[in-house]
Amino acid sequence: MKAPLHIHELRGEALAPWLDALGGLRIRVFREYPYLYAGTLEYEREYLAVYQNARDSLVVLVTDDAGNALGAATCLPLAAEGPEFREPFLKAGMDVAEVFYFGESILLPEWRGRGIGKLFFDRREAHAQRLGYPVTAFCAVDRPDTHPQRPAGYRPLDGFWQSRGYAKQPGLQARFVWKEIGEENQSPKSLTFWTRQWIP
């Protein structure tokens, strides 16, 4: 029998006790290809504080019976994020105030393939819909198919995202900086946004 899971929807101060668990999850999951992120809890606390402080943000957290964090998905109004997130939309002439941004979906590998990724989209989309946003968006790192770290049998998530009604927008590219596993220093990485329009 599968162990029962608990789904929490956290906002504002309710996030405070979970910040380090969330940061730890991000570090663990994004260490893997395609992000190869060599993260630190210090940076994670700063990054996640934006979600704690932003009006209308939401974190969907999955825990087991013992209260261990197994996965999470985050979202907030794009307008509440930093300039590096907003700039691609501004450059493309889009109204940042209309975009609800999905920060990440992360799940420990042993819990994947059970529909939690779909639940993460369902919950965040319902939240964005309740708030009346006409566009939801997220971004993903650009990696060539020939990347030396790509594991054999790696399955990109593009098909899943398309099935959720999202389209890749090559005109919406961001550059974020992080230290990659094996890198001496931080370096810029290119990410492309995916968007979905919601018809009122």
**Binding mask 61-100 vs ligand COA (x if CB under 6 A, - otherwise)?**
----------------------------------------
User: Could you tell me the maximum CA-CA distance found in the chain, to the nearest angstrom?
Assistant: 51
Q: Which of 58, 116, 137, 191 binds ligand COA (CB under 6 A)?
A: 116
* Residue of the chain from 117, 135, 166, 189 that contacts ligand COA (CB under 6 A): 117
Residue 176 in the binding site for ligand COA (CB under 6 A) = no
Q: Binder to ligand COA among 107, 128, 137, 174 (CB under 6 A)?
A: 107
Query: Token pair of 104, please?
Result: 């990440």
Quick one: which of 114, 130, 147, 175 contacts ligand COA (CB under 6 A)?
114
Distance in angstroms (rounded) separating the CA atoms of residues 142 and 151: 15
Q: How far apart are the first and last CA of the chain?
A: 41
Q: Which residue is nearest to ligand COA (CB)?
A: 117
Q: Which of residues 21-40 bind ligand COA (CB under 6 A)?
A: 29
- Any contact of residue 6 with ligand COA (CB under 6 A)? no
Nearer to ligand COA, 132 or 162 (CB): 162
Whole-number minimum distance, CB 5 to ligand COA, in Å?
A: 11
Judged by CB under 6 A, does residue 104 bind ligand COA? yes
Question: Would you count residue 177 as binding ligand COA (CB under 6 A)?
Answer: no
Q: What is the DSSP string of the chain?
A: -PPP-EEEEE-GGGGGGGHHHHHHHHHHHHTSTTT-B---HHHHHHHHHHHHHSTT-EEEEEE-TT--EEEEEEEEEGGGS-HHHHHHHHHTT--GGGEEEEEEEEE-GGGTTSSHHHHHHHHHHHHHHHTT-SEEEEEEE---TT-TTPPTT---SHHHHHHTT-EEEEEEEEEEEEEBTT-SSEEEEEEEEEEEE---
**Under rule CB under 6 A, residue 10 binds ligand COA:** no
Residue closer to ligand COA by CB (options 114, 130) is 114
Provide the binding-site residues for ligand COA, judged by CB under 6 A: 29, 104-107, 112-118, 140, 155, 157, 159-160
